[in-house]
Structure 1
Amino acid sequence: MIPALHIVGSGPAGLAAAHAAVMAGAQVCLIDDNRAAGGQVWRGGPGAWNAPAADALWAALREHPGFTHVRDTRVVGAVDARTLLLEGDTGGACMPFERLLLCTGAREFLVPFPGWTLPGVTGAGGLQALVKGGMPVRGRRIVVAGSGPLLLASAATALAAGAQVLAIVEHQPRAALARFGLGLALRHHGKLHQALQLFARLRGVPYLTDALVVEAKGDEVLQTVVVETARGRTEYDCDFLAAGFGLLPNTELGQAFGCAIDAGALAVDERQQTTVPHIWAAGECTGVGGVDQARSEGRVAALCALGLAPSRADLRALRQSHHFAALLARHFAPRPALRALCRPGTIVCRCEDVTAAELMPWRDWREAKLATRVGMGPCQGSTCAAACALLFGWEPPAARIPILPANAGALASIE
């Protein structure tokens, strides 16, 4: 008998996993905190996707008798080894499971710099999500900064919506980008084609390399950004700054169940199984690699969780996607120069307004938290913990339940 499978997260990994599982005859419960499936990559749900692969997966799932979609529901913790703690519009609930697949995705890595908390400053992916969600940017002046391919995608989305993209400010040097491009040309022709298409759409937009936004200025909202290159500093008058330095795997739910972490991501074996025998993981929570890796891992993880063997084609696609992920990690890793962006008076924890100077005297996250309330705001350290790891070398804090802010009613549902 095929066992039931619970999946947390309905992005590319979750949808690919759900599709593979129901086609294999399993009962699948897909849980997500958004109303529509798709996650951050396929944002907006069916009808808004410009992705044939997403449409095909959803078309096969939505009417399938073995598929249940639990929407608008956050997983806020683990009650015990085989029970999820949920919070939805009607309150909290405990959901037991037999086998669990985590497809919890990733969030942006934001590096503090003077002015980064001004209204008008977002992450690169954050701006893209806002534009896809309908935020009007026509005629608005935008600078996109940070590091990684997401900068191109974010800039292209803004440009297509009518924005004026003043510059793309890439932190990595031209030599690293050239090596990345060579890696694409040697083994990832489809990815190279996508990159060239993005550059074609962005023709005429200045693309600065080995460059950084060192300050955002404004009285009450963003008005100007200061960009530093080898040639000196340039100021851009703008309405939005989208600054992000890559992605961080969301590992908190896995940690709550006792799953091991490796290099900041959930550790998995060749079958996508975590160190907890009845839990598998797929997508960006196991390491950042893009939509192809998410889909490949989701499919392989679902089949292995059900005790089935992936095909040779599945495993070949998985190896190819992992090679691309390694290429990304090698050429877009944060550089030590990023630490210099944060000055003593720069806010590091924006929830609690804690500055770098207030954090400098402390040896680790725990000491700093007790003394300054860093990480005790609504985001629970999801942004500032990674920044502190970069700035001060602190080990990120272990996940605690609830892994997300939850109301008392949800916690009261624990028996």
Structure 2
Amino acid sequence: MPASASDPYDLAVIGAGSAGLAGAVTAAELGLSVALLDSSPQTGGQFYRHPAQAIGAVRPEALHHDWPAFAELRRRLERSEVRHLSGHHVWAVTKENGDGKGNGERKGDGERKERGDVWAVHAVTGADGAEGQPVRVRARAVLLATGAYERQLPFPGWTLPGVVGAGGAQAMLKSGLVLPGKRIVVAGSGPLLLAVASSLAAAGAQVPAVIEASGYLGYARHPRALAANPQKLVEAAVHGAALLRHRVRLRTRSAVTEVHGTDRVEAVTVTRLDRDWRPVRGTGRRIACDALAVGHGLAPQIELATALGCATRPTADGTTALALGGLQETSVPGVWAAGETGGIGGAQLARAEGELAGTAVAAGLYGRPYREGRIRALQRRRDRMRGFAEAMAARHAPAAGWTDWLTDATDVCRCEEVTAGRIREAVTDLGASDAHTVKLLTRAGMGWCQGRMCGTAAVCLAAGEGQLRRAVEPPAERRPFAVPVPLSALASLDEPTGTRPDTAPGTDH
């Protein structure tokens, strides 16, 4: 805790998943005062979603991989003095001038350096931010551990009830113990599909097939990454055995190119793809089902960082991640990042990066090297797992020809009901040559999701038909708001101090 209610925290951690938890508890154990903010009512992030106690789940750990690691982080959090602010939707991080005292350096207390500039983390409270209670938490350093969101590629019928994200289906099962249907096809690209399919099958769903647009033989091109991460092969073997046990068929180099049904999903058409992900004519086959769980990987959630001007980098699968230094620092002094913000890599990598960032922040605030041996060990672990993550991203990157399965009537932007035909018209008839111009002409990306669902498709269609185009996310935009914010929250910015850290609502710890 800060020395007084008006003092800033040493560190504000945004996100209570694997990276955020590891960073928060590490920093607290090294003597820092830490505030941990997260939009969810409980810790764990997307990976360790689990039922609320009121549901009465007997063994929630049965639906998770590596649950003991999360349980240990949770125990460390409970023993620490970290202030956990649940139900806090962070919409911006801004820099404030000096807090009126402590400028320069103060000796004693480990020779901690007191800095004149502090960060203000702005949030609104409530299950979805609807309560609109503004909160401002001030800190000397910020750790961004905001995770990722699912990347979707549209196709005819994808707006029918019963079509859910692959990660969304897993979240429904983990947090609510419910299934999106009884007979569920799992489709898209990426290793998440295997985990989702095995979880759904174990929970009692019938999974007739897993449809993977890429393949797995390409991993053989990365022998060093595989050799350095043998646990990944073990995980793949576990999921593969589960699929065999439940008689789930795996179809590679294929995609769901159409969903059929009136009021909800009744069947899907699965089509073979060529190496450029273009549908092969005459290969379509129907599979009866009442739900489809589909996803084409994850995209780092970096809106807070790009609003601060943090540098980014393109990833092997076409998304945009933060460019980070050897100690998880961003290009903006005083701001660190860990986990999926630096590229998709899984919970184990996120924990290592979170601990590394927490240790680095402590060293930075105290102005001297700290636990150098541990830092080097964490860096080696991070680099090893990051190497595998990059190989994985390259193997499952969407190829150029996937837009060929879009008909002109296919909705691309669901929020604004913009079809592929309208976007193609903006390109061919109105001269749009980039996603921003498409957005201005068609409103694609202007809806509630702010382009998270349609951004990839808009970029690819804007590249023009018949050209060599790659499925990439839109360039990282600097937006002032990371989540929807009521006007009352903006009005509170005129208050001299905002809500004090010790009086912020929704504190669990």
TM-score (norm 2): 0.77
Cα 1:300–1:247, aligned 2, differ >3 Å: closer, same or farther? same
Which residue pairs with 1:387 in the alignment?
457
Q: How far apart are residue 45 of structure 1 and its match?
A: 6.8
Deviation readout 1:245-299 (Å, 9 max, x if unpaired):
1110001010111111111101111111000010000000110111111111111
Q: Are 1:87 and 2:99 an aligned pair? A: no
Cα 1:21–1:46, aligned 2, differ >3 Å: closer, same or farther? farther
Q: What secondary structure is seen at the aligned counterpart in 1 of 2:84? A: strand
Deviation readout 1:217-268 (Å, 9 max, x if unpaired):
1112111100012682210111111111111000101011111111110111
Tell me which amino acid in the other structure corresponds to 1:159.
A
Which residue pairs with 2:317 in the alignment?
none
Which residue pairs with 1:254 in the alignment?
305
8 Å CA contact 1:46, 1:58 repeated in 2 = no
8 Å CA contact 2:120, 2:136 repeated in 1 = yes
Of 290, 309, 327, the match for 1:271? 327
Cα 1:294–1:200, aligned 2, differ >3 Å: closer, same or farther? same
Cα 1:396–1:345, aligned 2, differ >3 Å: closer, same or farther? farther
1: CA distance, partners of 2:36 / 2:409? 44
Q: How far apart are residue 389 of structure 1 and its match?
A: 2.3
Which residue pairs with 1:196 in the alignment?
237
Higher Rg of the two aligned structures: 2
Tell me which amino acid in the other structure corresponds to 2:354.
G
Which residue pairs with 2:40 in the alignment?
34
Q: How far apart are residue 326 of structure 1 and its match?
A: 1.6
Of 388, 395, 407, the match for 1:324? 388
Q: How far apart are residue 392 of structure 1 and its match?
A: 2.5
8 Å CA contact 1:12, 1:291 repeated in 2 = yes
Q: What secondary structure is seen at the aligned counterpart in 2 of 1:97? A: strand
Of 82, 85, 96, the match for 1:70? 85
Of 204, 207, 214, the match for 2:250? 207
Of 344, 364, 368, the match for 1:288? 344
Deviation readout 1:82-131 (Å, 9 max, x if unpaired):
22221113511222221000001011110011111111111111111111
1: CA distance, partners of 2:95 / 2:180? 49
Which residue pairs with 1:224 in the alignment?
267
1: CA distance, partners of 2:219 / 2:208? 21
Q: Are 1:357 and 2:421 an aligned pair? A: yes
Cα 1:372–1:168, aligned 2, differ >3 Å: closer, same or farther? same
Which residue pairs with 1:374 in the alignment?
444
Q: How far apart are residue 309 of structure 1 and its match?
A: 4.4
Bigger shift: residues 312-321 or 291-300: 312-321
Bigger shift: residues 374-383 or 252-261: 374-383
Deviation readout 1:155-194 (Å, 9 max, x if unpaired):
01111110000100011135325546x5665221111111
Cα 1:129–1:183, aligned 2, differ >3 Å: closer, same or farther? farther
Bigger shift: residues 381-390 or 242-251: 381-390
Deviation readout 1:278-335 (Å, 9 max, x if unpaired):
0000000110111111111111111111213451322221121111112212211111
Q: Are 1:9 and 2:43 an aligned pair? A: no
Cα 1:268–1:295, aligned 2, differ >3 Å: closer, same or farther? same
Q: What secondary structure is seen at the aligned counterpart in 2 of 1:37? A: coil
Tell me which amino acid in the other structure corresponds to 1:57.
L
8 Å CA contact 1:169, 1:211 repeated in 2 = yes
Which residue pairs with 2:199 in the alignment?
157
2: CA distance, partners of 1:402 / 1:141? 39
Q: What secondary structure is seen at the aligned counterpart in 2 of 1:133? A: helix
Q: How far apart are residue 396 of structure 1 and its match?
A: 3.2
8 Å CA contact 1:349, 1:375 repeated in 2 = yes
Tell me which amino acid in the other structure corresponds to 1:9.
G
Runs of 4+ in 1 over 4 A off after TM superposition: 177-180, 182-185
Tell me which amino acid in the other structure corresponds to 2:238.
Q
Cα 1:338–1:399, aligned 2, differ >3 Å: closer, same or farther? same
Bigger shift: residues 387-396 or 221-230: 387-396
Which residue pairs with 1:53 in the alignment?
69
Bigger shift: residues 123-132 or 365-374: 365-374
2: CA distance, partners of 1:397 / 1:262? 9
Q: How far apart are residue 365 of structure 1 and its match?
A: 2.9
Which residue pairs with 2:49 in the alignment?
43
Residue correspondences, number: 413
Cα 1:260–1:92, aligned 2, differ >3 Å: closer, same or farther? same
8 Å CA contact 2:219, 2:391 repeated in 1 = no
Q: How far apart are residue 46 of structure 1 and its match?
A: 8.6
Alignment root-mean-square deviation, CA: 2.2
Q: What secondary structure is seen at the aligned counterpart in 1 of 2:134? A: strand
Cα 1:191–1:106, aligned 2, differ >3 Å: closer, same or farther? same
Q: How far apart are residue 59 of structure 1 and its match?
A: 0.5
8 Å CA contact 1:5, 1:98 repeated in 2 = yes
1: CA distance, partners of 2:71 / 2:305? 29
Which residue pairs with 1:301 in the alignment?
357
Q: What secondary structure is seen at the aligned counterpart in 1 of 2:122? A: strand
Q: What secondary structure is seen at the aligned counterpart in 1 of 2:284? A: strand
Q: Which runs of 5+ in 1 are unaligned?
A: none
Q: Which runs of 5+ in 2 are unaligned?
A: 4-8, 54-59, 97-118, 274-281, 315-319, 364-369, 427-431, 464-472, 495-509
Q: How far apart are residue 137 of structure 1 and its match?
A: 3.0
Identity of aligned residues (%): 38
Q: How far apart are residue 27 of structure 1 and its match?
A: 1.1
